[in-house]
Structure 1
Amino acid sequence: MTTAQVLRTPLTELAGVRHPVVQTGMGWVAGPRLVVGTANAGGLGILASATMGFEELERAILEVKSRTDQPFGVNLRADAADAGDRCDLLIKHGVKVASFALAPKKDLIARLKDHGIMVMPSVGLPRHAEKVASWGADAVMIQGGEGGGHTGSVPTTLLLPSVLDAVDIPVVAAGGFFDGRGLAAALSYGAAGIGMGTRFLLTRDSAVPDAVKQLYLSYDVNGTVVTDKVDGMPHRMLRTELVEEIEESSRLKRLTPTLRRTLEFKKMSGMSWLDLARDGRTMKKTQGRSLAQMSLAANTPMMLKAGLVDGDTSAGVLASGQVVGVLDDLPSCEELVDRVVTEAVDHLRGAHEMLVAIDV
């Protein structure tokens, strides 16, 4: 039996979930199994669509809907050539939340909102939050530098208050969260909830191979590294032998495997060369990526798949937040969400008792 709602925040009201806990849309990790586990536990599960073809995404949405009646979301690439078509898919199937790794265009936000879909882009700076808020976004998610995958350099403790000061819409905090103390702290800052990636990856509901999960659990807080050698953008991942080799290798030495994996991704995704070129042009326009960075970006999905899906850590990379160093168990999503919420309530009550004690 999952915990009844004990915390009401703008996130729980907007998304219609019981608890202000978000399972982030991690590529190759956040599939139907993990999303269903999170949704049934009362959190907001988010499907990762960037590593899915269009038809595959529709099948995943339908699978989630067949296994839960709770709200869930889909994470979309705003710069994808078929972003509009994917948004229409969310509208068609009544998905509750659309999250974005980059700022979606104003007309896309309006289209989703017109159909009752909550729009929550991820942002890394206050000015980005201000922009999407002015375009009508319902909420934003920030990720501090502690977070896994693509990340910035500003820690959550500085990024969160600066974004809260910049906008009036709800802010969900991610980067460095793994327990109820973190949720209590985020709510005390003024956040509407927390997002967790690595913590949900390391659950029994995650489809990541068990051997890979055990590898994650063997790392300490210094076991991650932020590198731009994988896809040209700062990316936090486990410090494996492969990553160390990539860090030390020359650009020329990385060229052949990069091209091979780009071909693999093209075949797996069903994208045409024209689609890849369009995506590349959009990356260059919206993110300022160079040709070399765009080539690396096309390479990344297959390197992540090798580690997170195939379990081949000698050929794949493993995205991870710094919290990996303080995790030592594999709970179910239900156990995790219940534990986080219960701990948060205890800490918030403790803070209230301190206020009473000093007669404020």
Structure 2
Amino acid sequence: MTAGAPPGPVFRTALTELTGVRHPIVQTGMGWVAGPRLVSASAAAGALGVLASATMTTDRLRSAIREVKSRTDRPFGVNLRADAEDAGERVRIIVEEGVQVASFALAPSRELIAELKDAGVVVIPSVGARRHAEKVAAWGADAVVVQGGEGGGHTGAVATTVLLPQVVDAVGIPVIAAGGFHDGRGLAAALAYGAAGIAMGTRFLLTSDSTVPAAVKARYLAAGVGDVTVTTAVDGLPHRMLRSELVAGLEAAGRPAALLRAVRHAAAFRKVSGLGWSRMVRDGLAMKHGRDLSWSQVLLAANTPMMLKSAMVDGDPRGGVMAAGQVAGVIDDLPSCAELVDRIVTDARRTLDGLRPA
């Protein structure tokens, strides 16, 4: 457990009040990356660490939650796929294990939000459009993460600097800004826009507490801003990642080869996740309905978990894909989570103090 009394927060915002974290910073739930070690380090540093559950079995999710709790007594969250058939079971695990926050990559249903809130769990969906923020706010979400197009992974086309103020003006719940953040100046800017804090994925991936293999981290650190691209070749949806030989090959291969690869990856993910074919088909139906996808896009989506695993777990930057925000091009070090959070908060305060008249 965390020893000693933690220092008080430098910034008190609606996010720190809502979740009980010391600093208005969220470490996002990145598949294969946001495991117990990174989440507990982020939480202990005073940020809101979020455990990624989509690539875990339900048994593994429960044990991962318990592992985080054995490492720190600070608040943390779990990220869920709202369209997964076993979302209800995962919600029950969160409630039973006393997790403080549930986050979602897709908008959860009104009923799922109500179930979590009735159990005292804070609900924070992630969205990429104002209308989606308005919808989850009307359904009772406690806060919302808004990711602009600079963000890594699946992303939209609207920049954070345009999307964030739109959403802040449209909803009456705390808004957490994501996409393009990595330092204290970004936190200061987000607060100036009216956000209650910032959420970061790539910046936390590139810490010494992250379990991503060294060879893959080196690829991120060597990248420039121009080395981060958006492609639909991996799973049929816009996906921001590092340029690589594999991505170039996928883009050149065409749809038939991609579909064949997706079938192989679906079979591999079935073994890793413990899901049966019927469950995977049902999840595919839910995904198709929730995102209005074609069947070929649903099948291509099977590429994502295993191609990310190849890089983020197996350490093969040539055989896997590396989801990345554009900030990967300006990050050049691997601090601990504690060092990173302290640096961001200190620099944000210095930045804001420097704006005051002498």
TM-score, normalization by structure 2: 0.97
| In 2, Cα distance between equivalents of 1:201 and 1:209 | 10
User: Over residues 48-85 of structure 1, what are the superposed CA-to-partner deviations in whole Å (9 max), with x where a residue is unaligned?
Assistant: 01111111111100100111100000000000000011
Q: Does the 8 A contact of 1:3 with 1:338 survive in 2?
A: no
Indicate conservation of the 8 Å contact 2:259/2:296, yes or no. Answer: no
Q: After superposition, what is the alpha-carbon deviation per residue over 1:28-47, rounded to whole angstroms, capped at 9, x for unaligned?
A: 00000000000000000000
Instruction: Give yes or no for the alignment of 1:348 onto 2:348.
Output: no
How far off its partner does 1:21 sit? 0.4
CA shift, 1:255, in A, is 2.8
Structure 2 residue matching 1:237: 3-state secondary structure: strand
* CA drift at 1:25: 0.4
Give the match for residue 52 of structure 2.
Answer: 48
The residue type paired with residue 341 of structure 1 is V
Unpaired segments ≥5 residues, structure 1: none
Classify the secondary structure of the residue corresponding to 2:301. Answer: helix
Q: Deviations over 1:174-200 (max 9, x none)?
A: 000000000000001100000000000
**1:287-312 CA-partner distances (Å, limit 9, x unpaired):** 11111111111221000000111011
| Alpha-carbon separation, structure 1, partners of 2:100 and 2:295 | 36
Contact 1:225 1:239 in 2 (8 A): yes
2:37: which partner in 1?
Answer: 33
Compare 63-72 and 254-263 and name the one that shifted more. Answer: 254-263
**Paired residue total:** 354
Mapped contact 2:233–2:258 kept (Cα < 8 A): no
Q: Is the 8 A contact 1:98 1:117 kept in 2?
A: yes
Q: Please say if 1:73 is aligned against 2:56.
A: no
How far apart are the structure 1 equivalents of 2:261 and 2:109?
A: 34
| Matching residue of 1:322 | 326
Partner AA of 1:50 in structure 2: A
SS at match of 2:240: strand
**Partner of residue 94, structure 1:** 98
Q: Mapping of 1:24-173 within 5 angstroms?
A: 24-173=28-177
Match of 1:277 among 263, 277, 281: 281
Matched residues in 2 for 1:262 and 1:278: separation?
13
Residue of structure 2 in register with 1:236 after alignment: 240
**1:195 aligned to which of 194, 199, 203:** 199
Q: How many angstroms apart in 1 are the aligned matches of 2:152 and 2:312?
A: 14
| CA distance in structure 1 between the aligned counterparts of 2:159 and 2:261, rounded to whole angstroms | 33
| Residue 229 of structure 1: how far off its partner (Å) | 1.1
Q: What is the identity, as a one-letter code, of the residue corresponding to 2:262?
A: T
Give aligned-pair identity as a percent.
Answer: 64
**Residue type of the alignment partner of 1:227:** T
Which letter maps to 1:45? G
> In the alignment, is the contact (CA less than 8 A) between 2:258 and 2:300 conserved in 1?
no
Matched residue SS, 1:169 = coil
Moved over 6 A (4+): none
Measured in 1, the distance between the counterparts of 2:141 and 2:132 equals 11
- Find 2:294's aligned residue among 290, 296, 300: 290
Corresponding position: 1:303 with 2:307: yes
Q: Secondary structure at the match of 2:94?
A: helix
Amino acid at match of 1:107: E
User: 7, 11, 14: which one pairs with 1:7?
Assistant: 11
Q: CA deviation at 1:217?
A: 0.3
User: In structure 1, what is the Cα distance between the partners aligned to 2:332 and 2:205?
Assistant: 13
The offset of 1:335, in angstroms, is 0.1
CA contact (8 A) 1:73 1:99 kept: yes
Q: 2:219 aligns with which of 215, 220, 227?
A: 215
In the alignment, which residue of structure 2 is the partner of 1:255? 259
Contact 2:247–2:321 (8 Å) recurs in 1: yes
- Structure 1 residue 3 displacement after superposition: 5.2
Q: Distance in 2 between matches of 1:139 and 1:107?
A: 16
Q: Which deviations, in whole Å up to 9, do the C-alpha atoms of 1:165-221 show, x marking residues without a partner?
A: 110100000000000000000001100000000000000000000111011100001
Which residue pairs with 1:313 in the alignment?
A: 317
Partner Cα separation in structure 1 for residue 26 and residue 34 of structure 2:
12
When the two chains are superposed, the root-mean-square deviation of aligned CA atoms in Å is 1.0
Which deviations, in whole Å up to 9, do the C-alpha atoms of 1:298-345 show, x marking residues without a partner?
221000000111011221100000001111100000000000001111
Quick one: distance in 1 between partners of 2:73 and 2:101?
A: 14
- Distance, in Å, in 2 between the alignment partners of 1:36 and 1:277 is 34
Residues in 1 aligned to 2:190 and 2:257: alpha-carbon distance in whole angstroms: 44
**2:296 & 2:221 partners in 1: Cα distance?**
33
Structure-to-structure mapping, 1:170-185, within 5 angstroms: 170-185=174-189
**Partner of 2:216: helix, strand, or coil?**
helix
